[in-house]
Structure 1
Amino acid sequence: MKHFLSMEGPVYRILTRFVELIVLNGLFLLFCIPIFTIGASTTALYSVTLKMVRNEESGVYSGFVQAFKKNFKQSTSIWILLMFAGLILYLDYLYLGLYEGDFTLLIILSLFFFTCIYLLLTILIFPYVARFKNTIRESVVNAMKIAITNPFQTISVLIFSIGPVLLIFFSPYLFLLALYLSIFLGFSLVAYLNSFLLRNIYEKY
């Protein structure tokens, strides 16, 4: 029992990790405030969590700030491109609501396909940038290749990432719960869980 509760025991390690994730979540939200820095903040978040699951972390704050500065330019460029692509998709859906011509089904299927690609890229590109050093084009292509060649792990990452967002639409209680968790732990916990899956994928490369 003494070993179980000691600083070397599992309880202490779990509590330490829990506190680290709370601090990391706070850093992520703080660095997301200017909006255009969300990409760099997400990359820094995954840089820390990917090291956590490999037991390589050297400090949450220092690791986050270093990764944020290191990947700022590339991650911000990718985030701006994703926002622009998301705006185009949004306008396409607005247009679809007004469209009364032929080939409606084809347009819906095309939009669904591009939406899936957009979601995959949005969720997977920043962990990839956190782990590998490539150009923006190479990062986009390689992230999609990894998603296609590892479908089961990719689906699991999507469930962890999108699942909590979908739950908030079921009831006001779930919305408030998700909001509360997001403020204190939600984003870092999702990234941490995803990092276990991503670690297994990235080790192949």
Structure 2
Amino acid sequence: MMNHFFHVNGPVFTFLSKFCDVLIISILWTLFCLPVVTVGPACAALYHTVHKSLLKSDGYILPTFWKSFCSSLKQGILLTLLCLFISVFCVLSYFFITAEGQSQIFVILYFALLILAAFLLLVLLMYSFPILSRFYMRFSVIFKTSVALAITRIGFTLLLAVIFLLCAVTMFVAPFTLFFLPACYAMAAERLIEPGFQKVLKASALAEHPSKSPAPGNSSEDPSGQKS
């Protein structure tokens, strides 16, 4: 019994192997985020590598991460710039609201815009990069799909937002958690987001072939353009 416990395929070695994978993926994400504008492609690669290599044990970590990063580079940079623009708008709106001598009407207006922009930013950060990592979609479709998933799965969105904010604050306060927390967050996000992706796949298949019901799990030829 003890020999099986410490066997190369036993729970101890399996846990240590997965933990090492978590460290490698998290470090890769941190390094590829350093140029700032590549945060988007790095997040897409993080999610895809966790989904495919870590959780499904399909493919090696480094090739999977690099392939996903390269395929997501252009749109990922555009999404990063969009998120940076919204972030700047949120900061400027906050300073405008807290400035002295502002008209009450404009304060209310900017506060409403701030809430809307912050919600949109959070939605994009949580959904757009996983979508980018898993599907071939136009930039506008990624944007609309992110908002649609966030609204139609509001309970999961709120839970994901709590996890996201907790991880973001933890990594900011304790930078050493960058060595493992990014991959841990991606694993939690994968469990919450993937059921929504399956609904997108089924809806796309039905729209393309209304007379045919897609077989569960069969997405190799899905019209939504799922990445391998």
State TM-score, norm by structure 1: 0.87
Superposition deviation, residue 143 in structure 1: 1.1
Can you list the C-alpha shifts for 1:53-107, whole angstroms capped at 9, x where unaligned? 6515301111000101111111111111211221122112111122521223343
Query: Which residue of 144, 148, 151 maps to 2:151?
Result: 148
The answer on 1:163 being equivalent to 2:158 is no
Percentage of identical aligned residues: 23
Distance 2:185 2:17 in 1: 17
Distance 2:126 2:51 in 1: 15
Query: Which residue of 170, 175, 181 maps to 2:177?
Result: 181
Local SS of the residue matching 2:59: coil
- Structure with the bigger RCO (C-alpha within 8 Å, sep 6+) is 1
Distance 2:127 2:133 in 1: 10
Superposition deviation, residue 109 in structure 1: 3.2
The answer on 1:49 being equivalent to 2:44 is no
The answer on whether the counterparts of 2:26 and 2:180 sit within 8 Å (CA) in structure 1 is yes
Aligned match of 2:114: 111
Measured on the aligned residues, the alpha-carbon RMSD in Å equals 1.9
Distance 1:198 1:168, change over 3 A: closer
Distance 2:169 2:67 in 1: 33
Aligned match of 2:16: 15
Distance 1:166 1:24, change over 3 A: closer
Superposition deviation, residue 168 in structure 1: 7.5
Distance 1:28 1:153 in 2: 24
Distance 1:41 1:159 in 2: 21
| Unmatched segments (≥5 aa) in structure 2 | 201-228
The answer on whether the counterparts of 1:31 and 1:37 sit within 8 Å (CA) in structure 2 is yes
The answer on whether the counterparts of 1:53 and 1:196 sit within 8 Å (CA) in structure 2 is no
Aligned residue pairs total 197
Max Rg structure:
2
Distance 2:197 2:16 in 1: 27
| Unmatched segments (≥5 aa) in structure 1 | 170-174
**Greater per-residue helix proportion:** 1
The answer on whether the counterparts of 1:53 and 1:195 sit within 8 Å (CA) in structure 2 is no
The answer on whether the counterparts of 2:171 and 2:181 sit within 8 Å (CA) in structure 1 is no
Superposition deviation, residue 119 in structure 1: 1.2
Query: Which residue of 189, 192, 197 maps to 1:194?
Result: 189
The answer on whether the counterparts of 1:36 and 1:79 sit within 8 Å (CA) in structure 2 is yes
Distance 1:204 1:188, change over 3 A: same
State TM-score, norm by structure 2: 0.79
**Higher mean C-alpha displacement, 125-134 vs 103-112:** 103-112
